[in-house]
Structure formats: C-alpha cells, structure tokens
C-alpha cells in the first residue's frame, strides 16, 4: 500500500488558553490601544516588551505591527534613506528587500552557500558598497556570526538581523538578534509566536531605541514604555523624528505574552520534529542534507534539503509526486515565484547581476514547513514519502543517462 500523509502544512497550534483569557480581558475592558491605560495600569504591550527584552537579553525592546515594519524602522533609525544601498541576502523572502525599498534604498544582494547561509566571501567583496547589512537568517540558518561581525566591524558596516526564522535560536550561546546593532523578529502566524501579525525590534543602543519608539508612533507617551530608554534619550529626537505609525496593540500583546513565556518549550518541540525528519532523510541517494553548525542552536520550524545539480524537470517531478501523497514541498528554483517563495531575480524593482554559484544552489533548494501540529509519527511518515519519491526519480534519471 502506498502511504499518504493527510495532515495540514499550514495549521499551527491553537493560541494557549492563557492567551485567550488575556485577550478576552482586553476585549472586555476595551483599552486596545497601547497608550490607552487606566490609572496605574501597565499595558499588555509594555509588559510584553519588557518580557521579550528579558528573553533575548536586550536592554530595549519595541513591539510593532509586523516584522517588515521592524526592519524598515531599524533602517530608518540608522539613517538609511533614498539612494542608499543596503547589503542583504540573495536567499531570503520578499519582506526583506521590501523593507529596504520602503525607505527608498536599494538592496545589494549577497550570495548563498550550500549551508544556506550568506556567502561570507561574497560579502567581503561587497562590504565597501554599503554601510548597513540587513542580514536575514533565512529559514533559520545562521552563518558564522563571529566571522561576520568581525568583518562588518572592521569595515564599519552596521548589522541589522532579520530573525523572522530564528526567534529562540542562538549562535555560540548568544541569542539570534543580539550580534548586530538591532535585531528584528516577526510574530506572524507562520513564525515562532503567533498573533496573526506583529513584530519586535531589540537593541542595546539608547539612541536607536528612542528613535525607533518615536518612529513607531509614540506621540509624547514614550514614558509609558517599560523597555525603552529614559526620557533624556528622547530630548531632541522628539522634535525631529516623524511618526510613521506601526504600533503593536494590547490585544495582540495579550495573545503573545504566554507564548513568549513558553518559547523555549515550543522550540524544543520543533527540534524533535526537525531531527525526526532529518534522520528519515539521511542517506537518500541524490538528496543533500543541509548540515547544521555545532555552534548553532537551531529552531527547526522548517526543513530544507538540496537536490543539487538535478535537472529542473526532475525536481518538479519529485515535488509533484510528493504532493500526490500529501507532502507539500516548496522549491526555490522555480522560474516563476509561487506563494511565499520568490528569489532575488523575482524582485525586479531591485535589479542585480546574476550570481551563478548562488543560482546553482537556489535551483536545488527544497523547503518544507514543520508546524507543531505534526506528530513525530507524522514526521517519520513524511520523511519516508520524500525518501521514496526522491529515490524513485533519482533512479529513473540514473537509468536514463
Ligand atoms: C516573515 C518574514 C519576515 C517578516 O514578515 P512580516 O510578515 O512582516 O512579519 C521577515 N523576513 C523573513 C525571512 C520572513 O520570512
């Protein structure tokens, strides 16, 4: 009998009961705007910021409307503006070049390695083209952050980390988002905490924190923050910083607080699933496992493997055959962007020269989401299905040649 998987690749866990209860309390009192507080009340949003700052060990935290908004705010706070160039990953998702374009700047794309991290040699060659790197830890793959930071520090390039896929992850024990000058996170449904939409910006720099708070639309209510710098940091900024509204609200914050408290447990559950999948895929002929660095503390909320140097029609055949058995794989090599997958050459508002070495890797990247609603048995079954279909197509190819 041919095995089939019948679960959903897009169904996340429900919101924890504590989050539902807290959300109902906010709905009942009606004070959803973060600065709408009763006397002596601390808003859910301000408390969430304090708790997230503690979770990642940052001095300051600002909760905002989305991860993309956090990145745009980070760039604005650093003074990036029209005509500037910003280094970023060729392998990432659309909100990243979008954040750069949102401030009128232009991305300079840096290539990707077989480990699916930014190519540090390519970065070294391009470091003189910009003064900011928006580094995307795409799909949770973290590059050698010690080397990257040493290179960027030496070149005077400031690093903003896009941690949409690395909330809860770390490099050499340092939480992802805490190497660069600013870290940005997403709370969108498909990330590691879920409020539908939402994001965080963290930093230890009081000037950047104050500027971000003003940018997010704090009016003159910045003293109601619990994870922002003291009023002195706002002294001049409050007159010179435009309000570009993108605040978090108390309803989303209420939903998020119990999830932030539970992040480590959830990350461990993701990793059990990730390693079950990885074990099931190992030693499949023609399939290249993306090995994780020993200094990386991962959060396996998605898994990637490479069908390196496969003909495009063979990759499509694998994807189609897996789909017929209920396993939804995404392919970064498709000529047309589909759903969430697009590539640096799909972003035609930011033209760039082709990168042959990266194109070879992107042409082989197959990607799969790992929602926590999968059981470990589901993961073993999914791995068996992928393994059998990859093997079948690989053998056909070998025979044909
Ligand atoms: C989701 C995502 C973001 C931010 O997304 P928002 O939807 O704006 O919260 C940033 N970078 C990557 C790589 C993402 O996948």
User: Is 6 domain-assigned?
Assistant: no
Q: What is the mean pLDDT of residues 15-30?
A: 98
Give me ligand 1 centre to Cα 95, in Å.
5
**CA 348, CA 246: separation in Å to the nearest integer?**
27
Asked if residue 174 and residue 161 are part of one domain, the reply reads: yes
| Shortest-distance Cα residue to atom 14 of ligand 1 | 164
pLDDT (tens digit, 9 = 90+) per residue, 326-365?
999 999 998 888 888 888 999 999 989 899 999 999 999 9
**SS3 (DSSP) at 153:** helix
Give the pLDDT of residue 340: 83
| Shortest-distance Cα residue to atom 1 of ligand 1 | 164
315, 333 contact by CB (below 8 A): yes
pLDDT (tens digit, 9 = 90+) per residue, 53-63?
999 999 999 99
Our CA dihedral for 370, 373, 377, 379, rounded to 10 degrees, sits at: -10
Confidence of residue 401 (pLDDT cuts 50, 70, 90): low
| Shortest-distance Cα residue to atom 6 of ligand 1 | 67
Asked if residue 282 and residue 235 are part of one domain, the reply reads: no
**CA 323, CA 318: separation in Å to the nearest integer?**
8
Asked if residue 240 and residue 158 are part of one domain, the reply reads: yes
User: Is 3 domain-assigned?
Assistant: no
Give me ligand 1 centre to Cα 165, in Å.
8
CA distances from 173 to 38, 177, 178, 262, 272 (A): 40, 12, 10, 19, 20
Angle, vertex CA 245, rays to CA 205 and CA 57, nearest 5: 30
> The domain that contains 328 carries what CATH number?
3.90.1150.10
Find the domain containing 386 and state its range.
Answer: 263-400
Whether the CB of 67 sits within 6 Å of ligand 1: yes
Q: Which of 261, 287, 306 is the last residue of a domain?
A: 261
User: Is 268 domain-assigned?
Assistant: yes
DSSP 375-394: -HHHHHHHHHHHHHHHHHHH
Give the pLDDT of residue 179: 98
Q: Which of 211, 242, 261 is the last residue of a domain?
A: 261
User: Is 118 domain-assigned?
Assistant: yes
User: Is 9 domain-assigned?
Assistant: no
**CA 179, CA 149: separation in Å to the nearest integer?**
7
Identify the bridge partners of residue 135 per DSSP, sorted by sequence position.
161
Helix (H) or strand (E) holding 148: helix 145-155
Closest CA to 111 of 268, 350, 344: 344
Asked if residue 72 and residue 88 are part of one domain, the reply reads: yes
CA distances from 109 to 69, 85, 94, 252, 300 (A): 20, 10, 13, 34, 25
Number of domains observed in the structure of the chain: 2
- Strand 288-289 versus strand 302-306 pairing type: antiparallel
Whether the CB of 93 sits within 6 Å of ligand 1: yes
CA distances from 186 to 63, 168, 183, 355, 392 (A): 10, 12, 11, 29, 38
Give the pLDDT of residue 341: 84
Best mutation site among 91, 112, 162 for ligand 1 pocket (most ligand atoms within 8 Å of CB):
162
Give the pLDDT of residue 1: 74
User: Is 4 domain-assigned?
Assistant: no
pLDDT (tens digit, 9 = 90+) per residue, 150-183?
999 999 999 999 999 999 999 999 999 999 999 9
Asked if residue 113 and residue 50 are part of one domain, the reply reads: yes
Asked if residue 268 and residue 256 are part of one domain, the reply reads: no
Whether the CB of 113 sits within 6 Å of ligand 1: no
Q: Which of 261, 277, 298 is the last residue of a domain?
A: 261
User: Is 379 domain-assigned?
Assistant: yes
Whether the CB of 198 sits within 6 Å of ligand 1: no
Give me ligand 1 centre to Cα 224, in Å.
28
Whether the CB of 183 sits within 6 Å of ligand 1: no
Higher-confidence residue of 397 and 219: namely: 219
Handedness of CA 266, 268, 271, 275 (dihedral sign): negative
Asked if residue 272 and residue 232 are part of one domain, the reply reads: no
Asked if residue 267 and residue 257 are part of one domain, the reply reads: no
From the CB of residue 300, how many other CB atoms can be counted at a distance below 10 Å?
23
pLDDT for residue 323 is more than 70: yes
Give me ligand 1 centre to Cα 369, in Å.
14
Handedness of CA 394, 304, 340, 326 (dihedral sign): positive
Q: Lowest mean pLDDT of 23-32, 62-71, 343-352, name the range.
A: 343-352
Asked if residue 331 and residue 294 are part of one domain, the reply reads: yes
> The domain that contains 160 carries what CATH number?
3.40.640.10
Whether the CB of 254 sits within 6 Å of ligand 1: no
Confidence of residue 2 (pLDDT cuts 50, 70, 90): very high
User: Is 153 domain-assigned?
Assistant: yes
Give me ligand 1 centre to Cα 259, in Å.
18
CA distances from 323 to 312, 328, 343, 344 (A): 17, 5, 22, 26
Asked if residue 309 and residue 241 are part of one domain, the reply reads: no
Asked if residue 304 and residue 224 are part of one domain, the reply reads: no
**CA 337, CA 339: separation in Å to the nearest integer?**
7
Identify the bridge partners of residue 279 per DSSP, sorted by sequence position.
none
Asked if residue 274 and residue 244 are part of one domain, the reply reads: no
Identify the bridge partners of residue 338 per DSSP, sorted by sequence position.
341
**Which position has the token pair 């941690």?**
163
DSSP 35-83: T---TTPPPHHHHHHHHHHHHHT-SEEEEES-HHHHHHHHHHHTT--TT
Higher-confidence residue of 351 and 51: namely: 51
């Amino acid at each position: 009998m041919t095995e089939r998987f019948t679960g959903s690749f897009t169904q996340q866990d429900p919101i924890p009961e504590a989050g539902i209860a807290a959300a109902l309390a906010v709905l009942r009192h009606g004070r959803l705007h973060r600065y709408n507080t009763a006397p002596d009340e601390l808003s859910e949003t301000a408390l969430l910021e304090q708790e997230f700052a503690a979770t990642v060990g940052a001095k300051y935290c600002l909760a905002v409307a989305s991860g993309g908004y956090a990145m745009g705010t980070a760039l604005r706070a650093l003074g990036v503006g029209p005509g500037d160039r910003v280094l970023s990953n060729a392998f990432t998702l659309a909100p990243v070049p979008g954040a750069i374009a949102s401030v009128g700047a232009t991305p300079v794309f840096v290539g990707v390695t077989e480990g699916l991290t930014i190519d540090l040699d390519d970065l070294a060659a391009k470091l003189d083209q910009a003064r900011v790197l928006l580094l995307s830890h795409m799909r949770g793959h973290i590059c050698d952050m010690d080397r990257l930071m040493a290179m960027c520090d030496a070149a005077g390039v400031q690093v903003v980390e896009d941690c949409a896929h690395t909330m809860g992850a770390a490099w050499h024990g340092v939480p992802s988002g805490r190497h660069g000058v600013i870290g940005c996170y997403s709370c969108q449904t498909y990330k590691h905490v879920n409020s539908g939409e939402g994001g965080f910006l963290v930093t230890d720099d009081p000037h950047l924190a104050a500027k971000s708070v003003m940018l997010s639309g704090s009016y003159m209510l910045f003293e109601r923050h619990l994870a922002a710098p003291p009023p002195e940091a706002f002294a001049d900024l409050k007159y010179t910083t435009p309000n570009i509204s993108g605040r978090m609200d108390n309803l989303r914050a209420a939903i998020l607080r119990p999830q932030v408290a539970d992040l480590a447990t959830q990350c461990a559950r993701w990793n059990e699933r990730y390693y079950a999948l990885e074990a099931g895929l190992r030693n499949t002929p023609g399939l290249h496992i993306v090995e994780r660095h020993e200094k990386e503390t991962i959060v396996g909320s998605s898994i990637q493997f490479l069908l390196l140097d496969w003909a495009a029609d063979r990759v499509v055949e694998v994807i189609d055959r897996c789909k017929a058995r209920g396993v939804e794989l995404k392919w970064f090599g498709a000529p047309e962007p589909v759903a969430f997958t697009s590539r640096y050459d799909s972003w035609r508002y930011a033209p760039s020269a082709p990168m042959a070495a990266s194109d070879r890797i992107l042409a082989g990247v197959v990607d799969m989401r790992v929602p926590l609603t999968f059981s470990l048995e589901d993961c073993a079954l999914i791995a068996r299905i992928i393994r059998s279909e990859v093997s079948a197509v690989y053998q056909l190819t070998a025979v044909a040649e």
